[in-house]
Amino acid sequence: MFKFVKDHMATIDGIEIYPMISLLIFFLFFLVLFWWVFTAKKDYISEVSNFPLDNQEYE
């Protein structure tokens, strides 16, 4: 089954760019996420981390 898919994909012109684009998107997403984690304000992180523990009703 995999051989059939592999042979079929090999006949498509320009298909080799898609794995590179996918890797680039994956890498950029985690790079931005990593940057956001280290630049986030400590007060914001503390406030958001306490949301599940708050038993107050917000109106």
Radius of gyration of the chain (CA): 22
Look at the block and give the residue holding tokens 């914001």.
44
User: CB under 8 Å to 9, separation ≥6 — which residues?
Assistant: 15
Q: What gap in Å lies between CA 49 and CA 42, rounded to an integer?
A: 10
Amino acid 5: pLDDT = 73
Rounded percentage of the chain residues whose pLDDT exceeds 90: 31
The pTM of the full predicted model, rounded to 2 decimals, is: 0.57
Tokens of 7: 């042979």
Cβ atoms of 9 and 15 within 8 Å: the answer is: yes
20-43 pLDDT, tens digit each: 999 999 999 999 999 998 998 988
Amino acid 57: pLDDT = 62
- Residue 18 reports pLDDT greater than 70: yes
- Residue 59 reports pLDDT greater than 60: no
